[in-house]
C-alpha cells in the first residue's frame, strides 16, 4: 500500500502561568500542557482523572460516541481516491465498549462534577459525528477532524502487521481475560474496513502464537487492533490540538511506549548515518519521573485533589516544561554529545531545586521527583502501592515520533537515505517543536518493571 500524504500539526509552547486557589490559569500567557485521557473499552476511572489533574492544566475526556480511527465517510479518500464523494461505508476501526459503558460514564461525570464546573475537565470529540450520516458529492465532510485520514490508515495498517505490537495490546490484561467469552465478544467491533485487503495490500493478520481461548482468536485480534487504533489516534489528535496524550491503562500505555521505542530505535540508527540526528537522539536519554502513593490519592476527593493545584505546582510544572524544552533546543544547536550532556545536567540541577518545593508541599502523597540523564524506570523501586509519573521525551516531537514509530522497523530498513530524507521532511513540515514525544503519566510501577 503506497501512501503519500501531507499533514499539518500545530504545536504547544510552555511559559509562565499564574493560578488562583483552585489551580485555574489566571492570564493569557502560554500555559502548562493540557492532556487528553485516551479512551478505552471502559470509561476512565476517577483515579485516572485525579492523576491527570495533578499533572496538567486541563483534562479532556473523549465523548462516549467518539470511537472510530477517523470519520468513516473519509475511508475511500484514505484509500487514495479523489475527495469527490463522501459516503459512510461502515466502521473504519472503532474502539469497542464494555456493556455498562454509558452508565459508568455518567457516574464518572457525576464524580468529577466539581472539577468540570471549574473548567478543569472537558468532554470532547475528534470530529462532528453528524457528518458521518451524510452522503456528499463534490467533497468529503470531515467534521473538523484534524488529521489526515490517509496517513492514519497507512500508519495503522503498517504497525498493525507487527505481531509483537498486536500481542502487546492484550498481553497481561487480567481484567480482560477474567471476563466471560460473551462479555469479551461484546467489546469486539468486527468487519472493519481498515483491517481488510486494500488493492494489493493483504488483510491484517490475526494474533499469532498460542491462546488459552483459541475460539476467541479473531475477537481478541479485533480488540487488540482497536486498542492500537485508539493509541495512534490519541497521539495524532493531541499533536493537532496542543495536548499531551495520557494513557491510564497498562495495555494502552504499553502500546504508546512501543511506538516511542520503535521511533527511538530508528532515530538511534539514523543518527549513526547522519550527524543531523545525533544530538536529537541524545535527548532521548533524559528521563523525568514522579512517584506518589496511589492508595492515598485514591482516598482523596476530587475537591481535595484540585486544591493541590497551587502556585508552587504551577511553578514546578512550568520549570519542568522549560527544562525539557531547553534541552531539546540545545540538541539542535550542539553537535558535541558530552557538551550537550553537561548543559543538560546544568538545567536539570536548576530544575531540581524548584521540584523540591513541590515535594515538600505534597509530602502527604509521599511525592518524590527524579530527573536525570539515562535514568531507567525499571531500575527504580518504590513502596508497594506507589506509582510513577514518567515522561518519554524526544527532540523530534510527537508527530515525527508517530511517523518513525509506525513507519519503520530496523529489520525492514534496507537503505537509510530515504528514511533520513522522509524524517527531515516530516520534521520541517510538522514544525513540531513541543520538545516531547509522548508523555505517560502515572503508570503503575509494578506494571512498568514487568514490561
Question: Quick check: 30 pLDDT over 50?
Answer: no
pLDDT tens digits, one per residue of 47-66: 989 988 988 889 999 999 99
Distance CA 253, CA 235 (A): 12
Can you give the pLDDT at residue 9? 28
Taking all residues of the chain, what is their mean pLDDT, rounded to a whole number? 80
- Residues 366/292, Cβ–Cβ less than 8 Å: yes
Q: Which domain holds residue 229?
A: 34-450
Question: Quick check: 85 pLDDT over 60?
Answer: yes
Query: Quick one: cell of 324?
Result: 525539557
Across 10-14, 25-29, 101-105, the highest mean pLDDT is recorded for: 101-105
The predicted model gives 107-111 an average pLDDT of 97
Can you give the pLDDT at residue 291? 80
Q: Which of 268, 90, 333, 306 is nearest to 194 (CA)?
A: 90
Can you give the pLDDT at residue 414? 75
The predicted model gives 16-29 an average pLDDT of 42
Can you give the pLDDT at residue 254? 87
Can you give the pLDDT at residue 284? 58
pLDDT tens digits, one per residue of 388-429: 444 444 445 666 777 778 876 766 777 777 777 777 776 665
- Residues 395/328, Cβ–Cβ less than 8 Å: yes
In a domain, 21, yes or no: no
Can you give the pLDDT at residue 24? 42
Percent of the chain residues topping a pLDDT of 90: 42
Task: Give, rounded to a whole angstrom, the gap between the first and last alpha carbons of the chain.
Answer: 32
Can you give the pLDDT at residue 376? 41
Percent of the chain residues topping a pLDDT of 70: 78
Q: What is the largest CA-CA distance in the chain?
A: 62
Q: Which residue has the cell 499469532?
A: 208
pLDDT tens digits, one per residue of 32-52: 578 899 999 999 999 989 988
Residues near 82 by beta carbon (within 8 Å), at least 6 away in sequence: none
Can you give the pLDDT at residue 388? 43
In a domain, 26, yes or no: no
Number of structural domains found in the chain: 1
pLDDT tens digits, one per residue of 188-201: 999 999 999 998 89
Can you give the pLDDT at residue 279? 66
In a domain, 280, yes or no: yes
Question: Quick check: 368 pLDDT over 80?
Answer: yes
The predicted model gives 221-236 an average pLDDT of 95
In a domain, 8, yes or no: no
Distance CA 355, CA 385 (A): 22
Question: Quick check: 232 pLDDT over 80?
Answer: yes
- What one-character-per-residue DSSP string does 346-370 give? HHHHHHHHHHHHHHHHTGGGT-EEE
Query: How many residues does this entry show for the chain?
Result: 451
In a domain, 322, yes or no: yes
Can you give the pLDDT at residue 84? 84
Residues near 5 by beta carbon (within 8 Å), at least 6 away in sequence: 148, 150, 151, 154
Q: Which helix (H) or strand (E) holds 371?
A: strand 368-373
In a domain, 266, yes or no: yes
Between 107 and 21, the higher pLDDT residue:
107
pLDDT tens digits, one per residue of 245-277: 888 788 898 898 888 888 878 877 887 777 777
Question: Quick check: 379 pLDDT over 80?
Answer: no
Burial class (CB in 10 A: 0-12, 13-18, 19+), 10: middle
Confidence of residue 2 (pLDDT cuts 50, 70, 90): very low
In a domain, 359, yes or no: yes
Query: Quick one: cell of 292?
Result: 506518589
Can you give the pLDDT at residue 444? 33
Can you give the pLDDT at residue 441? 41
CA 43-288-434 angle, to 5 degrees, is: 75
> Is the whole model's pTM more than 0.75, yes or no?
yes
Q: Which of 355, 211, 365 is nearest to 288 (CA)?
A: 355
In a domain, 19, yes or no: no
The predicted model gives 70-86 an average pLDDT of 91
Question: Quick check: 302 pLDDT over 70?
Answer: yes
Can you give the pLDDT at residue 317? 84
| 70 Cα distance to chain centroid | 16
Question: Quick check: 163 pLDDT over 80?
Answer: yes
Question: Quick check: 15 pLDDT over 60?
Answer: no
3-state class percentages of the chain: helix first, strand second, coil last, to nearest 5:
50, 10, 40
Beta-carbon neighbour count of residue 174 at 10 Å? 7
The three-state secondary structure class of 243 is strand
Can you give the pLDDT at residue 421? 78
Question: Quick check: 5 pLDDT over 90?
Answer: no
Amino acid at each position: 500500500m503506497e501512501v503519500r500524504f501531507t499533514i499539518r500539526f500545530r504545536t504547544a509552547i510552555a511559559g509562565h502561568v499564574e493560578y488562583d486557589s483552585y489551580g485555574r490559569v489566571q492570564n493569557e500567557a502560554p500555559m502548562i500542557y493540557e492532556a487528553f485521557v485516551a479512551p478505552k473499552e471502559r470509561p476512565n476511572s476517577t483515579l485516572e482523572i485525579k492523576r491527570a489533574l495533578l499533572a496538567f492544566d486541563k483534562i479532556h475526556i473523549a465523548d462516549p460516541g467518539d470511537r472510530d480511527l477517523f470519520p468513516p465517510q473519509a475511508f475511500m479518500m484514505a484509500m487514495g481516491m479523489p475527495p469527490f464523494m463522501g459516503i459512510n461505508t461502515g466502521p473504519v476501526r472503532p474502539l469497542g465498549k464494555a456493556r455498562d459503558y454509558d452508565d459508568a460514564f455518567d457516574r464518572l461525570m457525576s464524580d468529577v462534577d466539581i472539577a468540570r464546573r471549574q473548567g478543569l475537565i472537558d468532554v470532547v470529540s475528534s470530529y462532528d459525528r453528524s457528518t458521518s450520516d451524510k452522503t456528499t458529492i463534490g467533497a468529503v465532510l470531515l467534521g473538523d477532524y484534524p488529521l489526515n485520514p490517509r496517513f492514519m490508515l497507512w500508519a495503522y495498517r503498517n504497525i498493525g502487521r507487527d505481531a509483537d505490537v498486536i500481542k502487546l495490546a492484550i498481553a497481561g490484561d487480567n481484567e480482560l481475560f477474567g471476563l466471560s467469552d460473551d462479555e469479551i465478544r461484546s467489546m469486539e467491533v468486527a468487519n472493519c474496513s481498515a483491517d481488510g485487503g486494500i488493492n494489493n495490500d493483504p488483510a491484517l493478520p490475526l494474533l499469532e502464537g498460542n491462546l488459552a481461548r483459541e475460539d476467541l482468536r479473531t475477537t481478541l485480534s479485533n480488540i487488540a487492533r482497536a486498542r492500537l487504533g485508539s493509541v495512534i489516534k490519541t497521539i495524532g489528535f493531541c499533536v493537532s490540538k496542543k495536548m499531551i496524550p495520557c494513557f491510564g491503562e497498562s495495555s494502552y500505555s504499553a502500546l504508546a511506549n512501543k511506538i516511542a521505542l520503535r521511533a527511538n530505535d530508528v532515530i538511534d540508527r539514523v543518527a549513526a548515518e547522519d550527524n543531523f540526528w545525533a544530538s536529537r537522539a541524545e535527548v532521548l536519554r533524559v528521563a523525568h519521573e514522579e512517584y506518589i502513593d496511589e492508595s492515598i490519592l485514591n482516598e482523596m476527593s476530587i475537591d481535595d485533589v484540585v486544591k493541590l493545584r497551587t502556585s508552587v505546582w504551577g511553578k514546578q510544572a512550568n520549570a519542568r516544561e522549560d527544562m525539557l524544552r531547553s534541552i531539546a533546543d540545545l540538541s539542535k544547536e550542539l553537535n558535541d554529545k558530552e557538551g550537550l550532556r553537561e548543559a543538560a545536567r546544568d538545567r536539570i540541577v536548576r530544575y531540581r531545586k524548584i521540584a523540591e518545593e513541590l515535594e515538600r508541599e505534597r509530602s502527604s502523597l509521599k511525592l518524590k521527583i527524579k530527573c536525570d540523564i539515562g535514568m531507567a524506570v525499571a531500575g527504580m523501586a518504590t513502596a508497594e502501592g506507589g506509582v510513577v509519573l514518567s515522561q518519554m521525551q524526544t527532540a523530534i516531537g510527537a508527530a515525527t515520533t508517530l511517523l518513525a514509530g509506525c513507519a519503520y522497523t530496523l529489520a525492514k530498513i534496507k537503505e537509510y537515505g530515504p528514511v533520513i530524507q522522509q524524517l527531515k521532511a516530516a520534521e520541517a513540515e510538522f514544525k513540531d517543536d513541543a520538545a516531547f514525544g509522548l508523555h505517560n503519566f502515572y503508570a503503575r510501577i509494578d506494571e512498568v518493571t514487568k514490561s
